Amino acid sequence: MELDRREAGFVGLGLMGAPMAANLLGAGWAVRAWNRSPQALDDFEARGGSRAAAVDELRDMPVIIFMLPDLSYIEDASAGLLARWASEPPAPGTVVVIMSSVSPTAVKDFGARVAAASGGNAVVVDAPVSGGTQGAQDGTLAIMAGAGEAEFVRLLPLFEAMGTTVRRLGPLGSGSLAKACNQLIVGTTTAALAEAAELAERSGMDVAALYEVLAGGLAGSRVLDIVGPRLAARDYEPTGPAKFMHKDLSFVLESAAAAGAAAPMARAGVGLYAELKRQGLGDRDLAVVRQTISNLSDNTTVTTN
């Protein structure tokens, strides 16, 4: 059964959140939003949305979406909401949807706290997304949900207003684990493409021409199609801060340790993106990992045995 009311609260109108919330409005949802900076709320109101002065003003919404950088931000933003629910429980069936990339383990703990604070009337669903700012704008995101079957069915119209590939992967935490796997592939593939670009260019080869021929073979991928032009052009204008890849790959290591799975690529990626942050490049686009590798090349003597 679908949600009784096509109304939603939305917390976080950043590079991803703003177009996602706009697509909900375009699909006929009544959306009330909170954001730290007022400019994003002004733009949102101009699109037909309404604003909340505080997150706890969203307490009566049947579904509240959080799109903030990490779970610590969500916990801080929702503290007043949970305190309000402790004294005035929400309606049964209220859903909190975490669409950020967060720890698969920690989101389960957060779900338990929400259930306790709401007297069991609210549940948490994790539904992180992939597709970048372009996918958020176009409404073509891939949405990976960790939810019970009933909650997923109720939320499906909401998800389909923001994405075209929507799947339930299992219970709470499964969506975040799927996103961690996604980031493992995206982060290490981008790093490999960046490394290939530096090797090619320093050897006198044209990077764009290299990528063109790679795209026609087994090395072709969506990552190459989307990130490749930025890597070739050294275009590091942010479509999403690169520093978050370090966080996301750390979640892979956390999950691998819990599952008893080896994760050598994730471990290498964590080290590389930690170096990216040390170089002060964390606020640039993910493609800036090429600059990180270039800087390493300029400061390393490469030897072979």
Measured between its terminal Cα atoms, the distance across the chain in Å is: 64
Query: Residue 220: what residue type?
Result: G
CATH top-level class of 177-298: mainly alpha
Catalytic status, residue 277 = no
The size of the chain, in residues, is 305
Dist CA 222 CA 225 (whole Å): 5
Residue numbers in the chain where pLDDT is lower than 50: 1, 301-305
At 43, give phi and psi (nearest 5°).
-65, -40
Cβ atoms 31, 54 nearer than 8 A: no
Map out the domains of the chain as residue ranges.
Answer: 7-170, 177-298
DSSP-assigned letter for residue 8: E
Select which of 179, 243, 247, 277 is catalytic: 179
Residue 196 half-sphere exposure, CB side, CA atoms within 13 Å?
20
Q: Which CATH number fits domain 7-170: 2.40.50.140, 3.30.390.10, 3.40.50.720, 3.40.50.1220?
A: 3.40.50.720
- Per residue in 172-210, pLDDT (tens digit) is 999 999 999 999 999 999 999 999 999 999 999 999 999
- Per residue in 142-160, pLDDT (tens digit) is 999 999 999 999 999 999 9
Tell me whether domains 7-170 and 177-298 share a fold: no
- pTM for this prediction: 0.91
CA distances from 83 to 55, 60, 88, 99, 184 (A): 11, 14, 9, 22, 36
